[in-house]
Amino acid sequence: MKYCSHCGSDAVSFSIPEGDDRPRHLCGSCGAIHYINPRVIVGVLPYLGDRVLLCKRAIEPRLGLWTLPAGFMENGETSEQGALRESWEEARANIRVDDLYCVYDIPHINQVYLIYRGELLDQGHGPGPESLEVELFSEAEIPWQEIAFPIMSEALVHYWADRKTGQYPLHRGVIQRKL
């Protein structure tokens, strides 16, 4: 951070505020402490019968690869509302949420993913502005080599395993930086 977003001063340092235990961007002019915290990404694993819905990304990163509908949670909405909003924006899909399904921390990029599981309410779906294509895939049809993010692959692996038992417990995990 070069300029204070509170007062516009360029007297911003990166140092540990009194009483804190880690460095923050501190404004030497107005005294504002600019906290930067992890971001929450909300999404849905949408299914219909024995198929799940994936979106082919029309934007970077990972343009052209497949993902579950998901995106940054907005202020003023619940995580479930955000997940449904993303499903509509990216896949024009109407979904009834069953339950929270996957919680993943990705500490090296400061993100937390909340993925719900939800049934498509109808056959209607199609690409929103951030998708090139939206399609339903059976387990055998999933393009495993073309999934955009490790978290999405993990959620899909859990889903196909859980389908065989009919039980869908909450899955938690941590995605670590690839060494």
Residue 29 binding Zn ion, by CB under 5 A: yes
Q: Whole-angstrom Cα distance, residue 177 to residue 150?
A: 11
Side-by-side strand order, sheet with 24-27: 12-15, 24-27, 33-34
With contacts defined by CB under 5 A, name the span among 4-12, 62-70, 77-85, 148-156 that binds Zn ion.
4-12
Residue 30 binding Zn ion, by CB under 5 A: yes
First to last CA, the chain: 28
User: Quick one: 4 or 156, whose CB is closer to Zn ion?
Assistant: 4
Q: Whole-angstrom Cα distance, residue 72 to residue 111?
A: 10
Residue 4 binding Zn ion, by CB under 5 A: yes
Task: Name the region of 19 (left: φ>0; alpha: ψ -120 to 50; beta: rest).
Answer: left
Among 25, 26, 27, 66, binds Zn ion (CB under 5 A): 27
> How far apart are CB 16 and Zn ion at their closest, in Å?
18
Residue 6 binding Zn ion, by CB under 5 A: yes
**What number of chain residues touch Zn ion (CB under 5 A)?**
8
Among 1, 2, 3, 9, binds Zn ion (CB under 5 A): 9
With contacts defined by CB under 5 A, name the span among 28-36, 40-48, 67-75, 170-178 that binds Zn ion.
28-36
> Do 113 and 174 contact (CB within 8 A), yes or no?
no
Quick one: DSSP state of residue 104? E
With contacts defined by CB under 5 A, name the span among 3-11, 64-72, 79-87, 124-132 that binds Zn ion.
3-11
With contacts defined by CB under 5 A, name the span among 31-39, 66-74, 88-96, 141-149 that binds Zn ion.
31-39
Among 1, 32, 40, 65, binds Zn ion (CB under 5 A): 32
Find where tokens 């080599």 sit.
145
Q: Whole-angstrom Cα distance, residue 170 to residue 146?
A: 25
The token pair that represents 109 in the structure block = 């990029």
Give residues in contact with Zn ion (CB under 5 A).
4, 6-7, 9, 27, 29-30, 32
